[in-house]
Copies of this chain bind each other. A is one copy, B any other.
Amino acid sequence: MPDPRAVEAFDPKIAERFIASQDKQGGLPAYLGIRFTAYEPGILRAEVPVREELLTMIGNMHGGVLSALCDHVLGCVCYPHMQRGQWAATTEFKINLLAPVTKGMLEAEAEILSLTRSTAVVQIRVSNEGRIACVAQGTVLIRDAKK
């Protein structure tokens, strides 16, 4: 269960805006094909379709795709739970890769375990073809806007 402080702070309008505007994002998340499917209080769900370009020569998904996905949702889960103008920076995380991924869809769920005014600790579970592909946990620093 997510931290009750996160559940209470959840602003569905910011969540909606993040979902609506994600097609405009470029860069690494666009290259990986990360798509946010739902925000819920304390939670973000996202998907990545497995495509050939993301596999290594051995035919398994590159671990860097999974770690970049975890890094991305780790920060992004926080925004609807923060004040407007603040930004979230991942400061550390840890990932265990549990099963090779070769096809289908990556389904990520990021959950805020602890939320204070300046930090969040988040756990992430990524599933693929009915089993866990990886789990991660890490810390986000919440900062006021640069002036």
Residues of A within 8 A of B (CB): 26-29, 31-32, 53-56, 58, 60, 62-65, 67-72, 75, 87, 89-100, 113-114, 119, 121, 123, 132, 135, 137-139, 146
Contact = CB atoms under 8 A, between A and B. Distances in A.
B28 A54 contact: yes
A92 B64 CA distance: 11
A97 B90 contact: yes
A128 B119 CA distance: 20
B90 A92 contact: no
A72 B76 CA distance: 24
Q: Nearest 6 CB-CB pairs, A to B? A: A64-B68, A94-B94, A67-B67, A64-B71, A98-B114, A63-B71
Nearest to A74: B63
Query: What is the oligomeric copy number?
Result: 4
A8 to B, nearest CB: 14
A89 B67 contact: no
B67 A53 contact: no
A93 B60 CA distance: 18
A63 to B, nearest CB: 4
Contact of A94 (B26, B64, B92): B92
Contact of A31 (B31, B89, B119, B139): B31
